[in-house]
Amino acid sequence: MPVLYTIGMYTAGPAIRVLWRPKVEGLEHVPATGGAIFAGNHLSVADEFILGAVVPRPIAFWAKEDYFNGTGVSGLFFKGLMNGLGAIPVHRAGGRAALSAFDEAIPHLQNGGLVCVYPEGTRSPDGRLYRGRTGAARLAMAAGVPIVPVGFIGTEKIQPIGQVLPSVKRDQVTIKFAKPIDVTEWNDAESQSTAAREITDQLMRTIQQLTGQHYVSRYAPKKDD
């Protein structure tokens, strides 16, 4: 377990639970052991620290590669922070570089670790739930692990897009977990691409049921997240 994450579990985690008092539902669906992917809607940067504060196991988050390549004092700070937290860099240029996040995540999952992925690919610009991309499903099938659907409610109230630091507003956030999706049910599918889309569509339906968000059947517009 990364050193900074270990420290955070015993310091920042309790502080977040006290300061924001997030309501948690379905925590029994979080596997006590073994690898799994958390896949949820994405409303705010606060989603990550809320999830990390309520799950009693370390989670590796995918983070944009810019955080690992910055220069100057702030660049060194974020690079050290991301590496210390065990974050996995995501290359947005596409191609072979974009697959490096998969290369790092698969052995982590197969060794019993947890990874968080946001199927929408970016934060929702308007609070609606957008069509899911198939990365989480493909990763789950490649690693042979389940997907735990996650629903975030209210995180955009404590840290909306553009706000650097979260506001301390108690009892504004709810996080819900649903029964894990067992992707091995698609092992015999004739097409992996078709299977990934079916899994993703089921995942997004479950997330929508958790959050009550209005669903948009197109991909969210890409922004600097």
CA 60, CA 5: separation in Å to the nearest integer? 10
pTM of the model: 0.89
Give the range among 66-70, 77-81, 122-126, 163-167 with minimum mean pLDDT. 77-81
- Mean pLDDT across the chain: 88
Q: HSE of 184 in the Cβ direction (CA atoms, 13 Å)?
A: 7
Which tens digit of pLDDT belongs to each residue from 76-100?
766 766 666 677 877 665 555 556 7
- CATH class of the domain at 3-216: alpha beta
CA 81, CA 9: separation in Å to the nearest integer? 15
Where does residue 25 rank: exposed (0-12), middle (13-18), buried (19+ CB within 10 A)? Answer: middle
Full DSSP string of 23-83: EEE-GGGS-SSS-EEEEE----THHHHHHHHHSSS-EEEEEETHHHH--HHHHHHHHHHHH
Which tens digit of pLDDT belongs to each residue from 124-151?
999 999 999 999 999 999 999 999 999 9
pLDDT at 32: 96
